[in-house]
Structure 1
Amino acid sequence: MEDSKIQEALRYLEQGDKATEKNWFKKPEWDVAGQNYEKAASCFKAARSHEQAIQAYQKASDALFKSDSLFMAAKTMESAATIAALQLKQPERAVEMYKKASDLYLANMCPDRAGEMLEKGARALEPVNVDSAIETYIAACSLYESEDRGRFAIDTFRKAAAVMIKHKRYEAAIDILHRLNAIYQSIPNQQGLNKTCLSIIITLLAAEDEVEAKKQFQLFCSHAFVQSEESAIASALLDAFEQGDQDLLTQTVRKQTVIFLDNETAKLARGLQVPGAISQPPPAQSNTLNNENSYIIPYHVDEQKPLPPEPTEISTSTFAPNQTEIDERKPLPPEPTEASTSTFAPNQTEIEDEDDIC
């Protein structure tokens, strides 16, 4: 099937070349040539012969341009750029064709499609050349502004700012965000304006320009921004930096208002660090015995009780009675010392009693 498609494409190319011939009796038929070249490119694309498809699309674009069919010339050039970017993975080559397509769309009074081509080129360049991608994004934004189509370029401005923030091009990002602010003011769109103002404050703090962040905050507060939740968040961020309070900063960036910003801006906010931050020490762990909520391990019967310490030396003091114990005992009768006659002599009272009996 692929071979048959290639053969068909070659026949269309031959017909297109014949249509471009010029002689005494015939002028070049550029529109016919462009149509044949475009058919040939479609056949090459179906046969997965991508390089030949690109060449055929380029020839079709040139022929259609000469026939004053600017829109179709731009469209065929866009098709060639798409194949180069997606199939051949050649972003530098693709962006050149995207720029040509942009010029053709702009010449045909289609500024929105022209800006879209530049945005596609920037997206293709981002993985390989960030600086060129940013320049292309800026060119797309400028094109929308010059044609007074800013309200249709909001997504392009936001994507451009996201790429710049992602790759730490903070100065360029702040400029793009200010230009986006002007678009929101002209529409007007107060909610978008509030988010963009907060994004500018966060980007300035990430760029370590706290002074400029305070100035911009004061300028923003002269409008309706001062009554918004984004204004309260921006004020808390500035207070955290002024007081050197990292805990306050961490609590602020976790709020829902910050989470609802663009992804790259929200990530940037979560990564902010206060210079010379002072954070509260973590609370000390209380003793588990004094904690009423602590879990007490129950005693098991099979657990062995600790053994008493083994005696080291045997001394007589171990068996000697304590003085207190001696005091508590009853006193013993005194032992007899000598046998005397007084022990066996009768008492005078006893003798008198015996006389009475007699």
Structure 2
Amino acid sequence: MSFCSLKTSMTKWKPDFDSAASEYAKAAVCFKNAKQFEQAKDAYLKEAEYHTENKALFHAAKAIEQAGMMMKDLKKMPEAIQYIEKASMIYVENGTPDTAAMALDRAGKLIEPVSLEKAVDLYQQAAGVFENEDRLRQSAELLGKASRLLVRLRRLDEAATALQKEKNMYKDIENYPTCFKKTTAQVLVHLHRNDFVAADKCVRESYSLPGYSGSEDCVAMETLLQGYDEQDEDQVHRVCNSALLKYMDNDVSNTSYICTLTGSVPSRGLLCTPHGVSAAQPGGLGTARSHHIRKS
């Protein structure tokens, strides 16, 4: 039927791309219901082609995104992500960047179990789209997802940069309590990098945030840094087992930020996480402090 829609005649001067796209959409659904995902993908791509000819870019992007989902069902994740990224570019071209960012976010979730690196890239792309639209809250949330994965990948320098950008966005929208949590995350990441100076600087810079100085978050980080600098293992242990770090809200605890700390006895390395302290694992970062700010 779609071929008839594309034929021209003396009374029909141009192909009916809209009807052709509709017919391929119906065919795609039939193939999908029959679990013939390769054929469904091809039908969605033909639908997208005719929507493009008809200058219906939003519908073309939707069809391409659906083609990506068929590849997901075929467990061909790289191909699936390629289609979704292509769809997101068309959404932006069509003037619907929010839809583009949400598609990239979905793609990140799909690829996360397969490739953390690609998931980071997708979340950062989505964050960039929202940032360009001055949607800072949404952009910050996506940067938070990227930061969490960067820590898991041990790309700590990049995680620290992403956290600072995320924190700046929350500051711009005056969400100061979340800024406090991001400062905590920054401190842990910098300590994991064995960079006490950067960790200390994060706390000092946060004194300018309304309500931070003297807050529970501030006192905990000051105490943690003091214990770290003086290699006071008991003090570090108390902070890491405090309710603040053990029961952080999901915005922070889901990121699994880790800092590697060394107590006064080198063989008793500690891993301080939002869920407490455990023995250091072989090969962990920062098995010895590289420097002290205050000499004991």
Q: 2:93 aligns with which of 98, 107, 127?
A: 107
What is the CA–CA distance in structure 1 between the aligned matches of 2:232 and 2:54, rounded to whole Å? Answer: 68
Q: 1:249 aligns with which of 226, 236, 242?
A: 236
What is the CA–CA distance in structure 2 between the aligned matches of 1:113 and 1:165, rounded to whole Å? Answer: 28
Amino acid at match of 1:118: L
Q: TM-score, normalised by structure 1?
A: 0.68
Per-residue deviation at 1:143? 1.5
Which segments of 5 or more consecutive residues in structure 2 lack a partner in the other structure?
Answer: 269-296
Per-residue deviation at 1:107? 2.1
What is the CA–CA distance in structure 2 between the aligned matches of 1:154 and 1:57, rounded to whole Å? Answer: 33
Per-residue deviation at 1:231? 1.0
Q: Deviations 1:187-245 (Å, cap 9, x if unpaired)? A: 21111111111111111111111111112221112222223211111111211110012
Q: 1:234 aligns with which of 221, 225, 228?
A: 221
Q: 1:126 aligns with which of 112, 118, 123?
A: 112
What CA RMSD, in Å, does the superposition of the two structures yield over aligned residues? 2.2
Which range moves more in the overlay, 137-146 or 50-59? 137-146
Structure 1 stretches of at least 4 aligned residues deviating more than 6 Å after TM superposition: none
For the 8 Å contact 1:247–1:279, the answer to whether it is kept is no
Equivalenced residues, count:
263
Give the corresponding residue for 1:274: 262
Q: TM-score, normalised by structure 2?
A: 0.81
Q: Trace 1:1-358 onto structure 2 (pairs within 5 A).
A: 15-21=1-7, 26-85=13-72, 87-224=73-210, 225-258=212-245, 259-261=247-249, 262-265=252-255, 267-269=256-258, 272-274=260-262, 276-277=264-265
Per-residue deviation at 1:174? 1.6
When residues 275 and 31 of structure 1 are mapped into structure 2, their CA distance, relative to the original with a 3 A threshold, is: farther
Percent same amino acid at aligned positions?
27
What is the CA–CA distance in structure 1 between the aligned matches of 2:41 and 2:265, rounded to whole Å? Answer: 57
What is the CA–CA distance in structure 1 between the aligned matches of 2:226 and 2:7, rounded to whole Å? Answer: 75
Q: Secondary structure at the match of 1:273?
A: strand
For the 8 Å contact 1:240–1:274, the answer to whether it is kept is no
Q: Secondary structure at the match of 2:188?
A: helix
Amino acid at match of 1:70: L
Q: Secondary structure at the match of 2:257?
A: helix
What is the CA–CA distance in structure 2 between the aligned matches of 1:227 and 1:84, rounded to whole Å? Answer: 53
When residues 254 and 235 of structure 1 are mapped into structure 2, their CA distance, relative to the original with a 3 A threshold, is: same
Q: Secondary structure at the match of 2:110?
A: helix
